[in-house]
Amino acid sequence: MLPLDGALDQFYREHRQQLFTCALAVTRCADRAEDAIQEAFYRLFRLGVQPQNLKAYVFRAVRNAAIDQLQRNPIPGDAIPEFIFDPRPGPCEAAADREFQQRATTALMGLSEDQSETILQHLYGNLTFREIAEIREAPLGTITSWYQRGLEKLRVELEE
């Protein structure tokens, strides 16, 4: 068994994109997401305890740090996050992509926080529903319900 600092280092290398996505789903800001990850790992290194389920423990710590970031410095209500899509479309598709991105982002941000966070963690963070349930400390059925209801609301909104 690796000591905790070695286990955390290896865990970070293997899951950094998922951790970033998890934090980004909460903070909706790349800089804040990076700060939340750094803060979480700092706390974990200082704690020095090897948890039974390292993945759930680290993701929960990152999510909690992201929530702390948000509480210390709330997002302005009129800010439209641009973190979901790659901002570099080809010139031919730029106008159509931009319109769709705007509509999809607005629709996604119109969902409940639970629904949008679950969708982002699953689709962009590549987390399973079971992992999201462990991280969020919520029942698996609740997570799948948030996901399904959120996707249905997105579908209806984007079909209009």
The answer as to whether 86 is a domain residue is no
Residues 55 and 101 in one domain: no
The structure's pTM equals 0.58
Q: 86: closest CA among 98, 75, 96, 76?
A: 98
How many domains, the chain?
A: 2
> What residues make up the domain containing 45?
4-72
CATH code for the domain of 51: 1.10.1740
pLDDT at residue 35 is higher than 80: yes
Looking at the domain assignment, is residue 13 inside a domain? yes
Residue 58 vs residue 78, higher pLDDT? 58
Per the model's pLDDT, the better-predicted residue between 139 and 30 turns out to be: 139
Query: Is pLDDT of 83 > 70?
Result: no
Tens digit of each residue's pLDDT (9 = 90 or more) over 38-66: 999 988 888 877 778 888 888 999 999 99
Residue 2's pLDDT band (cuts 50, 70, 90): very low
Domain boundary among 41, 72, 103: 72
Residue whose token pair is 């119109």: 110
